[in-house]
Amino acid sequence: MTNFTGKNIERKLKILIVGLGGIGSQLTDLVVPALSIGHISVELYLMDDDNVELHNIGHQKYQHHEIGQSKVSSLNERYSIYQNVKIIPIEEKLTENTQLEMYDIIVVSVDRDNPRKIVHSSGKAWVDLRCQGDGWMMLDSDTDSNIVCSFPKNEQPVSCQLVGAIDEGNIQFGFAAVAAIGAQWVLQKIRMSHGVTTKVPRFSMGYLTHGEMRFPLGGLKSE
């Protein structure tokens, strides 16, 4: 993995967010304004090949007038006014490792296993954000590999909302919880790159209703 602690990177960091659904769009909405008031400039790359649809409106950071637009172009238009953050939209899926070569920090917030595997094997500093219903999970490049490999693989995409929740108006907010954890992780990683001694959130999982769950193996890689 990339260790930023104690480094002072003069060039702009290149940060990639893969997946701009409930988690990714919410994280973008948290990170961009936060960075705009500081003294650190970054390039933020947004990767997704989906368009905004009506069923996205209740739990993703899109509006009715954006239905039919690509998600990356919608977010680019909204956040390009902010200082210190250059937004670069990438309207494509993540399908191979070569797409990740130029980035320093990667956020993966998708509902499919293949992009996650690609990010995990990239050798970069990464955070993997997941949710379903009011449940959430955060893994990163410091998480013990035994933990990362222990979770069941999803052969098909899994929505962050429970079946029927959108139609019933029963939106669950696990996506917002894990997006906030991810935003904290990203911002502190960026500060580390500029020599600030700080900490990032560790591996965690839980439910908004029932609280954080304990995992028996611990959260960090063995030294």
Statement: residue 158 has pLDDT above 90 = no
**Residue 222 lies inside a defined structural domain of this protein:** no
Statement: residue 22 has pLDDT above 90 = yes
**Residue 108 lies inside a defined structural domain of this protein:** yes
Segment 166-211, tens digit of pLDDT: 788 889 899 999 999 999 999 999 999 999 999 999 999 999 999 9
What number of H helices and E strands is found in the chain?
6, 8
Can you give the CATH number for the domain in which 204 is found? 3.40.50.720
Binning pLDDT at 50, 70 and 90, where does residue 6 land?
very low
Phi then psi for residue 36, to 5 deg, are -70, -20
**Residue 173 lies inside a defined structural domain of this protein:** yes
At 117, list the tokens: 């595997």
- Report which residue type is found at 118: I
**Residue 22 lies inside a defined structural domain of this protein:** yes
**Residue 167 lies inside a defined structural domain of this protein:** yes
Binning pLDDT at 50, 70 and 90, where does residue 153 land?
confident
**Residue 200 lies inside a defined structural domain of this protein:** yes
**Residue 100 lies inside a defined structural domain of this protein:** yes
**Residue 5 lies inside a defined structural domain of this protein:** no
pLDDT of residue 164: 78
Percent of the chain with pLDDT over 70: 89
Average pLDDT over residues 22-30: 98
Binning pLDDT at 50, 70 and 90, where does residue 165 land?
confident
Give the pairing type, strands 135-140 and 204-207. antiparallel
Distances (CA, A) of 54 to 43, 65, 67, 167: 29, 10, 6, 11
Segment 49-86, tens digit of pLDDT: 999 999 999 999 999 999 999 999 999 999 999 999 99
In this prediction the pTM is 0.90
Task: Name the residue range of residue 78's domain.
Answer: 13-210
Total domains in the fold of the chain: 1
Q: What three-state secondary structure class fits 103?
A: coil
- Report which residue type is found at 42: V
